[in-house]
Amino acid sequence: MAWGEFKDTAAERRLFQRRALVMLIFVVVMLSGLVARMYQLQVVEHETYSTISEKNRVQVQSIPPPRGLVYDRNNVLLAENRPVFSLMVVPERVENMDQTLADLQRILDIPENELERFERRLTERRRPFEEIPLSFDLSEQDIATMAVNRHLFPGVEVKAELVRYYPHAELTAHVLGFVGRINQEELQRIDPVNYDGTNYIGKSGIERFYEQILHGQVGYQHVEINARGRVLRVLERENPIPGEDLQLHLDLRMQRKAHELLDGRRGAIIAIEPATGGILALASVPGFDANKFVTGISVPDYQDLITDLDKPLFNRALRGQYPPGSIVKPMLAIAALDSGATTRDETIWDPGIFRLNEGGRVWRDWKRGGHGWVDLMDAVAESCDIYFYEIASEMGVDVMYQYLSAFGFGEDAALDVSGAQEGLLPSREWKRAERNQPWYPGDSVNMGIGQGFFLATPLQMATATALIANRGAWVEPRLLKDIRGDGDVKEALPSEYHEPLILKNPDDWEYVVDAMEAVMHGPKGTARRAAEGASYRMAGKTGTAQVFSLEGEEYNAEEIRERLRDHALFVGFAPADDPEIVVAVIVENGGSGSSTAAPVARAMFDAWLEELPAVDAGVLVGNSEQAQVR
Amino acid sequence: MGMKGILGTSGTEGFGRQKRLWSVLHIDPVLLLLLFLLVIPGLFVLYSGADRNLDVVKAQAIRLVIAFAVMLVFAQFDPAVFRRWAPWLYAAGLAALVAVLLVGVGAKGAQRWLDLPGLPQFQPSELMKLVVPMMAAWYLSRYFLPPTFGRVLVGLAIVLVPMALIIEQPDLGTSLLVGMAGLFVVFFAGISWKLITAFVALAGVSAPLMWLFVMRDYQKQRVLTLLDPQSDPLGAGWNIIQSKTAIGSGGLDGKGWLQGTQSHLEFLPESHTDFIVAVLAEEFGFIGMLLLLGLYLLIILRCLYIAACAQDSFSRLVAGALTMTFFIYVFVNVGMVSGLLPVVGVPLPLISYGGTSAVTLMAAFGVLMSIHTHRRMISA
């Protein structure tokens, strides 16, 4: 060969063959390494990877049960489920998130707060290929726009979801409450299995109290999915058990009536059917649109609600704690008669002022100059304070506490009303514990007209009045009337635990009912004007709760700014001898109970006893005047 | 030598005619058979990996036919022709690589293709897998072997210049294969073990420098991902986790052809290209992998035998280097898919979907057949 140098071809061949042998060994060793690796993965760790592969392939998807519906006593739908279309994003499938969001915003109007929430959730831990909601409640226009442009947005999809809807928004918000997205705290207490796939939970009211019944049982499906999270086929399915439908005692027409009566004012109305304890109306005005809370209320809307001086979110009927004022007089009359502090025949001279001892503190009657000679009947009818100062100091706190407890004051006696306050029924022990003071006789005097430390909610006032209407038989107030489906109302409702209030002389009930009738129909009854022209007899009691107290001085309500005026109170039932409805009314800053609250209650009585039965009987179609005439 | 003996003693009358036919066609029947054994089952794996897309299989079959044709063409040339042309091909290759950097076309941030008017689009770097070992062999075999230190340096320069140009594209996988091809020439030429040790040590020292100055971010990321795939399970680590899952879930005998859930449900990325071995491992299990690696070993054995039988140093060096390049393909691809090596774009030879590498590989086998069938029968 012409390479210019001496080449030992035999030596070069041997050299190469040695090197080739080295390479052969190298190749065998390296391939053995690969075989060892395969052995490790496919034989030693086979189980592990098999599991991962199976987990990749098969996903257990939960199917949330549809939430039970809520109806009123006439089967009017109060809470339903409406399909809402949301924009969902699977981040893994989006190529350029910023670009996608910017493009989406050009064609859809995504609210700023939803965008912020989405970006926050994007940074949180989550399962791979899990969808994150971007925008809720898309309009028809938005859905159409997305349908046309879908191919431009891989990883973005419109998904239908059943969301709670309250057709009578403001009317029912304080009764039904509302559902909302499950928060961190609720996540701790719910059953994670049953709520897997459920996005909403009852936050208040009936929705909260009957959450378990309304929610139902989650269903499952095992699905084969591909890497992009697309479901290819369903391998196995267990259907969810839908939540059960509830029927409430509530009558939407009464509820609407109550709202109309309080329109433009602040206050609460509770109407109870005494025989069943069923709550016919539970109104707190102003109300709010609960639908706004379901998918998450916007910050400005929420700000408006919480800064509103009228406090629309505040449930006055359950949580408003007011001094009950004179409306406790019928209950104290029962206490005084039964405990022997007074008798039906006992009369006292009312000079308009009361002193515990000579030269001591003066308690005044609401009526300047007093009522003259009064017995217990007159004292209730005319709401004579002096008489009740007398019997209160005669009974003392312990006796009053005992009887008022039996009327349900100082406790949440309702069965299925969530979030009700307990009010405050003061006692010797309470004052010692809370104020570190002894109970003074003067405290008993205040308590005798429902003032002082004594606080009660409108619901408690209605409950106590219902006890009189039922002549001592306890029927706890409740909302649930029936469960559609397998559920048993008796099981769903908490058990009734109150003992009936049995008087030594059961006729005392009739005496006090007569006194309450005298309030409405008597010549000097404080609410006689509200009862004018009624075709039925009613029993009631007016009251006035002081917003702030002016001790020993008289004042002119007109001079005080509107919001510092007294709250007008009224409790009552009708017909007096066979009650079908019990009503408690509070009109905040309404002034006197007789002029403001009593007419409201009268309108509720009329509606329940005359107008609605007339409508139901088909006598009257859309003409309310005839009903009045009847 | 024993190896020559095997060749010399073979043949009855009929077999001898057959043998003559093979030598007229310049085909090594043993290598051809092994290649068929690899390629034809490979198409079935591809059918599964491409999710039953027959078009993909057809396209690949056509490419393989072309590749076998190219092999046949290369086999017709005498190795001396390759030797004579080596410097010119090398010069042209370097020019083409420079041209790629200047006017090349490509995708995904890399310029790899040259689109010259009147010629089909091609990847000059692929060509260099053949040309670089030929050039190095041409240079080193001009002198006595083992080479002197100076000649080793020149040999290394011949390898490193195209390597650097290919890294610039950037194409780490191809650059690696080209570089390995050249280095194997230097190794087979008989470079002393001391020098090898020294170079390995040098490489060890320069690795951190490579990390800092040469490697791109995405390449660093691949290495980091290899070390800890769970650090980014949905991003860069996804491929490795899913391919290991595919392999591991295959078990001893696999899930069966077309039954691999990892690939058919699209968890496994690139299931018909670079990661196709995971499909095979999932569907045919450890046994399938043993058969595959065994087949590759047989091909390598045959090729090393051909190299050992070659009659001149140039042929030996080229044959040895091309064989080892083929091995590197196998090792890097399987190592990468099974999570032993970082993800570099190296296909599984003759099974992964893709035409360019198949053509280059078959051309290399053509060169090997050329070397084997153009021997002068000294003994005859």
Q: Which residue has the higher pLDDT, A150 or A177?
A: A177
DSSP category for residue A42: I
3-state SS track over A358-423: CCCCEEECCCCCCCEEECHHHHHHCCCHHHHHHHHHHHHHHHHHHHHHHCCCCCCCCCCCCCCCCC
Contacts of A178 (CB under 8 A, 6+ apart): A164, A166, A202, A203, A204, A205, A207, A290, A291, A293, A294
Give the strand pairing for A581-587 and A267-273. antiparallel
Residue B59 sits at the vertex; the CA angle it makes with B53 and B63, to the nearest 5 degrees, is: 145
Predicted local confidence at residue A370, as pLDDT: 84
Over range B110-125, report the average pLDDT. 73
Interface test with B, best of A18, A49, A94, A122 (most B CBs within 10 A): A49
The structure tokens listed for B110 are: 């890399």
Over range A169-174, report the average pLDDT. 90
Over range B303-317, report the average pLDDT. 93
Looking at beta carbons, which residues of chain B come within 8 Å of A48? 248
Digit-coded pLDDT (tens) for A230-286: 777 788 888 988 999 999 999 999 999 999 999 888 899 999 999 999 999 999 988
d(CA A55, CA A500): 61
A434 sits in which H/E element: helix A428-435
SS3 content of chain A, % helix, strand, coil (to 5): 40, 20, 40
Question: A366 and A500 in contact (C-beta within 8 Å)?
Answer: no
Over range A37-48, report the average pLDDT. 93
d(CA A54, CA B300): 37
Q: Is the pLDDT of residue A600 over 80?
A: yes
Q: Is the pLDDT of residue B107 over 70?
A: no
B236 vs A: CB within 8 A: no
d(CA A26, CA B226): 24
Which residue has 């989650």 as its token pair?
Answer: A218
DSSP H stretches of helix in A194-298: 205-209, 211-215, 252-261, 291-294
d(CA A51, CA B44): 27
Question: A56 and B267 in contact (C-beta within 8 Å)?
Answer: yes
B327 vs A: CB within 8 A: yes
Q: What is the mean pLDDT of chain B?
A: 85
Partnered with residue A79 across adjacent β-strands are A70
Question: pLDDT over 90 for what percent of chain A?
Answer: 39
Question: pLDDT over 90 for what percent of chain B?
Answer: 51
Highest mean pLDDT among A124-133, A210-219, B216-225, B284-293: B284-293
Q: Do B285 and A42 lie within an 8 Å CB cutoff?
A: yes
* Chain A residue with the nearest C-alpha to that of B335: A34
Question: A588 and A284 in contact (C-beta within 8 Å)?
Answer: no
Q: Is the pLDDT of residue A550 over 60?
A: no
Predicted local confidence at residue B29, as pLDDT: 93
* Chain B residue with the nearest C-alpha to that of A40: B248
Least confident of A51-55, A282-286, B306-310: A51-55
Phi/psi of residue B347, nearest 5 degrees: -80, 165
B67: left (phi over 0), alpha (psi -120 to 50) or beta: alpha
A36 vs B: CB within 8 A: no
d(CA A465, CA A596): 19
CA distance A22 to chain B (A): 10
Nearest to A22 by CA among B376, B190, B181, B48: B190
Amino acid at A36: A
Question: A570 and A351 in contact (C-beta within 8 Å)?
Answer: no
Partnered with residue A86 across adjacent β-strands are A159
Q: Which of B145, B146, B234 sits opposite A92 (nearest CB)?
A: B234
Q: How far is CA A421 from the centre of its chain?
A: 12
- Other C-beta atoms within 10 Å of A84: how many? 17
Phi/psi of residue B47, nearest 5 degrees: -55, -40
A574: left (phi over 0), alpha (psi -120 to 50) or beta: beta
Q: Is the pLDDT of residue A418 over 50?
A: yes
The structure tokens listed for A56 are: 């990749």
Amino acid at B161: V
d(CA B353, CA B48): 12
Q: Between helices B276-309 and B313-337, what is the axis angle to 10°?
A: 160
Predicted local confidence at residue B17, as pLDDT: 66
DSSP category for residue A34: H
Widest pairwise Cα distance in chain B: 66
Tally the C-alpha atoms within 13 A of residue A467's C-alpha that lie toward its C-beta: 28
Over range B56-75, report the average pLDDT. 94
A186 sits in which H/E element: helix A184-189
3-state SS track over chain B: CHHHHHHHHCCCHHHHHHHHHHHHHCCCHHHHHHHHHHHHHHHHHHHHHCCCCHHHHHHHHHHHHHHHHHHHHHHHCCHHHHHHHHHHHHHHHHHHHHHHHHHCEEECCEEEEECCCCCCCECHHHHHHHHHHHHHHHHHHCCCCCCCHHHHHHHHHHHHHHHHHHHCCCCHHHHHHHHHHHHHHHHHCCCCHHHHHHHHHHHHHHHHHHHHHHCCHHHHHHHHHHHCHHHCCCCHHHHHHHHHHHHHHHCCCCCCCCCCHHHHCCCCCCCCCCCHHHHHHHHHHHHHHHHHHHHHHHHHHHHHHHHHHCCCHHHHHHHHHHHHHHHHHHHHHHHHHCCCCCCCCCCCCCCCCCHHHHHHHHHHHHHHHHHHHCCCCCCC
- Other C-beta atoms within 10 Å of A395: how many? 23
The structure tokens listed for B359 are: 């053509």
Q: Which residue has the higher pLDDT, B247 or B12?
A: B247
Alpha-carbon torsion A249, A252, A255, A257, what sign? negative
DSSP category for residue A18: H
Digit-coded pLDDT (tens) for A431-486: 999 889 999 988 999 999 998 899 999 999 999 999 999 999 999 999 999 998 77
Total residue count of chain A as it appears in this document: 630
DSSP category for residue A353: E
Highest mean pLDDT among A26-30, A148-152, B270-274: A26-30
d(CA B178, CA B157): 13
Determine which one of A86, A204, A326, A339 is catalytic: A326
Over range B203-210, report the average pLDDT. 84
Question: pLDDT over 70 for what percent of chain A?
Answer: 93
Give the strand pairing for A245-248 and A70-71. parallel
In which band, very low, low, confident or very high, does the pLDDT at B10 lie, cut at 50, 70 and 90? very low
Interface test with A, best of B84, B249, B306, B371 (most A CBs within 10 A): B249
pTM: 0.63
B233 vs A: CB within 8 A: yes
In which band, very low, low, confident or very high, does the pLDDT at B9 lie, cut at 50, 70 and 90? very low
Q: Between helices B29-49 and B355-373, what is the axis angle to 10°?
A: 170
Cis peptide bond prior to A286, omega within 30° of 0: yes
Looking at beta carbons, which residues of chain B come within 8 Å of A232? 265
Does residue A418 carry a catalytic annotation?
A: no
The structure tokens listed for B134 are: 């030929």
Digit-coded pLDDT (tens) for A324-349: 989 999 999 999 999 988 999 899 98
In which band, very low, low, confident or very high, does the pLDDT at B232 lie, cut at 50, 70 and 90? low
Q: What is the mean pLDDT of chain A?
A: 86
Predicted local confidence at residue B160, as pLDDT: 92
Q: Which residue has the higher pLDDT, A487 or B52?
A: B52
Contacts of A270 (CB under 8 A, 6+ apart): A279, A281, A282, A283, A317, A458, A459, A461, A462, A477, A583, A584
- Other C-beta atoms within 10 Å of A552: how many? 10
Question: A583 and A270 in contact (C-beta within 8 Å)?
Answer: yes
Over range A527-535, report the average pLDDT. 89
In which band, very low, low, confident or very high, does the pLDDT at B221 lie, cut at 50, 70 and 90? confident
In which band, very low, low, confident or very high, does the pLDDT at B143 lie, cut at 50, 70 and 90? confident
B144 vs A: CB within 8 A: yes
In which band, very low, low, confident or very high, does the pLDDT at A18 lie, cut at 50, 70 and 90? very high
Q: Do A53 and B248 lie within an 8 Å CB cutoff?
A: yes
Q: Is the pLDDT of residue A555 over 60?
A: no
Contacts of B292 (CB under 8 A, 6+ apart): B277, B280
Q: Do A20 and B308 lie within an 8 Å CB cutoff?
A: yes
Catalogue the long-range contacts made by A180-185 (C-beta closer than 8 Å, 24 or more residues apart): A180/A293, A180/A294, A180/A296, A181/A295, A181/A296
Over range B172-197, report the average pLDDT. 90
SS3 assignment, position A447: helix
Interface test with A, best of B108, B245, B259 (most A CBs within 10 A): B245
d(CA B213, CA B236): 22
DSSP H stretches of helix in A58-151: 97-107, 112-123, 140-149
The structure tokens listed for A218 are: 């989650």
Predicted local confidence at residue A620, as pLDDT: 47
d(CA B291, CA A388): 105
Question: A423 and A321 in contact (C-beta within 8 Å)?
Answer: yes
d(CA A273, CA A281): 10
DSSP category for residue A123: H
Highest mean pLDDT among A155-164, B198-207, B284-293: B284-293
